[in-house]
Amino acid sequence: MHHFDRINGALHAEGVPLEALADAVGTPAYVYSTATLTRHYGLLADAVAAHPAALGPALIAFAVKANSNLSVLATLARLGCGADTVSEGEIRRALKAGVPANRIVFSGVGKTDAELAFAIEAGVRQINVESAIELDRLIEISSSLKQRATASRAIATPEIAIRVNPAVGAGGHAKITTGGATDKFGVPADEAHALYARASLSPHVTPVGLACHIGSQITTLEPLEVAFRALRTMTLELRAVGLTVSRLDLGGGLGVPYHGQSDLPSIEAYVAMAARVLDGLDVEAAFEPGRLLAANAGVLLSRVIQVNERGDGRRFLVLDAGMNDLMRPALYDAFHDLVPVRPREGEPRLYDLVGPICESTDVFARDRLLPPMQAGDLVAFMGAGAYGAVLASEYNSRPLVPEVLVDGDRWAVVRTRPSYEDMLDREPTADWL
């Protein structure tokens, strides 16, 4: 459970009791641990640094989509972590959090003209191109920006990678697979070669490498290895016709033990596999982990509103957190462990964990065995640091919940809960009403 542990029977985030946080900021609330983020980044950075010949001065770029909180990003940025981004909003967040532009990768299947121009002007390290049509648009935009450049404001030629779809999909759920042949992401391997060659003929983009990302919550190394080998083969083919390939972006996707399972590939084994596949290529590798760094660095703290007991024995634990706060169970049937902050004595019982939202999918889990629970009890959804707060919505007019960052014994609110007045003020009434 990393840095969310019990001290004197009560669950803490590092040195801070979750009960105290709930009293101070209310519930629901996301709580993040600096120590876990730091530990996970350190494990990956150390593993990568152990293979300098095969992986080069590799870039670790946190997938901002997993957790875009500015203080989380700033925590990682201070450790030297870069950012993998998929929108202008994410690039702006990464820059504001202190990630240098030359450590920002811009990916995405549908980048607008404005976003491509913004990325070029910001001087991001690399734009991962996902289709032939995007390449044409990027060349056009880069060329017109250069024409408008002035001596005091020069525009660099963007460095690009071609995102290959290696036709190996993988991941914890069909809805989070990205590398399958029918998935919308990337260029089919047989088209990528021609596209790379075409890009290298343009003075307005500089192709530097290949990228892939085949899915998320991947729990075995085999599919990743197949994809990395495809990148290796393609690198050798491109070099054979005189093209330069100096970077390989290996994407993210490594799974985390939501069930506490101990048979997942270790970070060291994952990186060692990558190093074996890239050995001798003399490239700079990039890793784009999201979940791996952030999932177990966060919990969603919630309070029991009431316990509804039915005549047939079914028991609903009605929480103040709903599917709008934590979407993963409703979207992907995802499992999150639910831990009572201060468990009561007594025989464990079966509970259905539900939120207050008017949707039948607002069910976090069925038949969970928990100690006896009562209204007012605090619980924590574990593994909620990735794809938690970022996927939240205001459905049922519920304000987005606050986010708190803990560091040892100190804590700070790093995203505030909007007031109902703010939520209403955001919507000007049409002037004919």
Ligand X SMILES: Cc1ncc(COP(=O)(O)O)c(C=O)c1O
Ligand Y SMILES: N[C@@H](CCCC[NH3+])C(=O)O
Marked catalytic residue, from 358, 369, 430, 433: 358
Report the partner that residue 332 touches, choosing among ligand X, ligand Y, none (CB closer than 5 to 8 A by kind): ligand Y
Structure tokens belonging to residue 295: 């999932």
Residue 253 binds ligand X (CB under 6 A): yes
Interactions with ligand Y, residue window 378-397 (CB under 6 A): 387
Per-residue mark of binding to ligand Y, 121-160 (x: CB under 6 A): ----------------------------------------
Per-residue mark of binding to ligand X, 70-89 (x: CB under 6 A): --------------x-----
The one-character DSSP state at 265 is: P
Per-residue mark of binding to ligand Y, 52-71 (x: CB under 6 A): -------------x------
Interactions with ligand X, residue window 26-65 (CB under 6 A): 63
Q: Which residues contact 26 (CB under 8 A, 6 or more apart)?
A: 402, 417
Per-residue mark of binding to ligand X, 284-323 (x: CB under 6 A): ----xxxxx-------------------------------
State the Cα–Cα distance between residues 289 and 332, nearest whole angstrom.
19
The one-character DSSP state at 298 is: E
Task: List, in sequence order, every residue forming a beta bridge with 381; answer none if it has no partner.
Answer: 300, 338
Nearer Cβ to ligand Y, position 25 or 66? 66
State the Cα–Cα distance between residues 4 and 26, nearest whole angstrom.
19
Nearer Cβ to ligand X, position 291 or 415? 291
State the Cα–Cα distance between residues 106 and 87, nearest whole angstrom.
7
Among all chains, which residue has been given the structure tokens 């794809």?
Answer: 387
Nearer Cβ to ligand Y, position 16 or 214? 214
Strand-pair category, 159-165 with 126-129: parallel
State the Cα–Cα distance between residues 62 and 43, nearest whole angstrom.
14
Is residue 358 part of the annotated active site? The answer reads yes
Nearer Cβ to ligand X, position 36 or 202? 36
State the Cα–Cα distance between residues 291 and 288, nearest whole angstrom.
10
Q: 213 — phi, psi (to 5°)?
A: -155, 110
Report the partner that residue 328 touches, choosing among ligand X, ligand Y, none (CB closer than 5 to 8 A by kind): ligand Y
> What residue type is assigned to position 53 of the chain?
A
State the Cα–Cα distance between residues 53 and 283, nearest whole angstrom.
9
Residue 36 binds ligand Y (CB under 6 A): no
Residue 217 binds ligand Y (CB under 6 A): yes
Residue 216 binds ligand Y (CB under 6 A): yes
CA distance readout (Å), 48 to 24, 43, 157, 254, 271: 40, 9, 29, 15, 6
Among 332, 342, 349, 368, binds ligand Y (CB under 6 A): 332
Residue 328 binds ligand Y (CB under 6 A): yes
State the Cα–Cα distance between residues 282 and 297, nearest whole angstrom.
34
Q: Is 121 annotated as a binding residue?
A: no
Active-site residues: which are they? 358
- Give residues in contact with ligand Y (CB under 6 A): 65, 176, 178, 216-217, 328, 332, 387
Could you list the residues that contact ligand X (CB under 6 A)?
63, 66, 84, 107, 178, 213, 216, 251-253, 288-292, 386
